[in-house]
Every structure is written in C-alpha cells, then in structure tokens.
Amino acid sequence: MEAGKYFLYNDDIVVSDKPVITVDNRSFRFGDGFFETMKMIDGNIILSDYHFRRLFSSLQLLRFQNHDDFTIDYLTKSIRKIAAKNEHTKLARIRLTIFRGDGGLNDVENNFHNYIIQTWKANEDSLQFNKEGLTTGIYTNARKTSDAFSHIKTNNYLPYLMGVLWAKENKLDDAFILNNYNRIADATIANIFLVKNSTIRTPALSEGCVGGVMRKFLLDCFQKENIAFNETEINASELSDANEVFITNASIGIKWIQQCERHRYKNELSSYLFNKLILPLWK
C-alpha cells in the first residue's frame, strides 16, 4: 500500500517524516493507548458506526478523559480531511491511533488523549475474495491474555508482532495466536472463524480475541440471516477436522485459509458469505 505524505496530529496536518512525540511518551514507553483500522471507499468510512462505538468504548475502558469536541462528527471530518490531503479518498486504509501524553508509570501528565490519523492508498485486490487460500500455522511462543482489556486493539501489540515475524520466517501468510489456556484466540491481524457441519464457530471475547468490527458485523448478520453460529472456546486440535477456516477484519472483509500446518480446507461457505455480506459493503 502507498503511504500518505501527511498525517493528522491533534488536528494539525504534519509531513509524514516529522516526529511528534517525545521519548517520554507513555504510548512509546508502555503501549498506553489503542487504535482503529478502517476502510474508506469513495470518501465513506465502511462500518463507521461499529468503529466509533468501539472507539468510544475503548476510551472509557482505558480511563481516558475525553474532550467535549471529540465527537463522531469531528472524527469523520478529520479522517476525510487527511484522506483528501493525501488523495486517498477513492480506496484507502485508515489508522486512527489514540494515546496518552508524557509521563512515567506513576506520574502521568494527564489523562487527555492525543491522536494520529494516517492513510494508505489500498489495492483493488482488497475488494476481492482471495482465489488462492492463505497458509498459516500456530504460533506457540506467546500467549494472548484473557482479561477485561484483551478485546481492545491496544498499542501493546507484542504477541501479534512476534507471530508475524514467525510467520514470515516460516514462509506463511499468517499465524494463529493462542490464549493463556492454550486455546485459539485469533490471528495476527484478524479474527478467526471455523466451519464444522454447517455451523460457524469463533472464539468468544472471553477467550482473549480482539473485538473486531468485521467480526461483530458478521455475527449480527448471522443472527439476522438465521445462519448457525457459536461464540465459544476453540481448542487448537479442532483445526484438524474443520471443513473451512477463514479470517476477518475491517480491511480485508473475509479471507479463506487453505492450509494450517498439514490440514487443508475448502471455501464454499466463506466465499458465499463474502459475496452475500461483504461485497454489498464495498459498493
């Protein structure tokens, strides 16, 4: 993806190579903050209601003090402003990062939030269902905790980062991350779904997975369409007898997994769901 020449920092347009935080910044030092990754098509933020609902919930849960003018309308205008500045309104990936300012662990300067909005020009293939399935493996050297904050996309991304490095070293497209109970949490950049006997299963939020926007949208759709699904515990061993495995996030929609270690999967249901539920979002 083509990175934007500018980013937005607390409402100021800044050249992309200009530093805006200090070495005492709490996000840099402690991972104190969170982020949203969104998709923009023709100037519209896809699933914006879901994104902003999660954003303001995360602000509250992480005890940020909100500014009165930091509203959905303000954020929407800000995202569109920097996307237009970068000429990325047609098809773009947007990242909105929220973080506290300077301070040590016990002497935070204040609890007001700062933000950065970045944009990337996305590729047309991000609008398509992947014809060639992804290859994955199970990363075992890190565990995703299952607690009150594990569903937030925090700026402390170490388990996923190490999973990505491991996947690249092993020539894989992605890696599945385990939780502290040695069960499947999610993938490095997406939520995971398994299909077995026509029932769709995905790790519950209590299993430590990120509360993904596309995950929530699809679960709402499954309920409306009377498609059988279950939010539950998934043991790694269950990957061996699944009919299909697919991953989801707000940027890719749905991508099917062709292989996890020695296990191979089909894509009948995942391709059907993509065409029925995801493609209408892109149009």
Q: DSSP for 221-262?
A: HHHHTT--EEEE--BGGGGGG-SEEEEEETTTEEEEEEEETT
Do 134-282 and 2-126 have the same topology in CATH? no
Say if strands 253-260 and 91-99 run parallel, antiparallel, or are unpaired.
unpaired
Tokens of residue 249, six digits? 């996030």
Q: How many other β-carbons are positioned within 10 Å of the β-carbon of residue 73? A: 9
Taking the C-alpha atoms of residue 182 and residue 47, their distance in angstroms, rounded to an integer, is 32
Q: Which residues are paired to 249 by β-bridges?
A: 253
Single out the residue of 201, 144, 139 nearest to residue 174, CA to CA: 139
Confidence at residue 108, expressed as pLDDT on a 0 to 100 scale: 79
Cβ atoms of 256 and 200 closer than 8 Å: no
Taking the model in full, what pTM does it have?
0.95
Domain boundaries, the chain: 2-126, 134-282
Per-residue pLDDT 10s for the chain (283 aa) are 789 999 999 999 999 999 999 999 999 999 999 999 999 999 999 999 999 999 999 999 999 998 888 999 999 999 999 999 999 999 999 999 999 999 988 887 788 899 999 999 998 888 999 999 999 999 999 999 999 999 999 999 999 999 999 999 999 999 999 999 999 999 999 999 999 988 999 999 999 999 999 999 999 999 999 999 999 999 999 999 999 999 999 999 999 999 999 999 999 999 999 999 999 999 8
Task: Classify the phi-psi angles of 116: left when phi > 0, otherwise alpha if psi is within -120 to 50, otherwise beta.
Answer: beta
Residues contacting 1, CB < 8 A, separation 6+: 93, 120, 121, 122, 123
Taking the C-alpha atoms of residue 9 and residue 96, their distance in angstroms, rounded to an integer, is 10
Distance of CA 82 to the CA centre of its chain: 21
Taking the C-alpha atoms of residue 74 and residue 253, their distance in angstroms, rounded to an integer, is 26
Cβ atoms of 50 and 217 closer than 8 Å: yes
Element (H, E) at 109: none
2-126, what's its fold? D-amino Acid Aminotransferase; Chain A, domain 1 (3.30.470)
Confidence at residue 198, expressed as pLDDT on a 0 to 100 scale: 87
Tokens of residue 196, six digits? 């077995």
| CATH of the domain spanning 134-282 | 3.20.10.10
Distance of CA 280 to the CA centre of its chain: 20
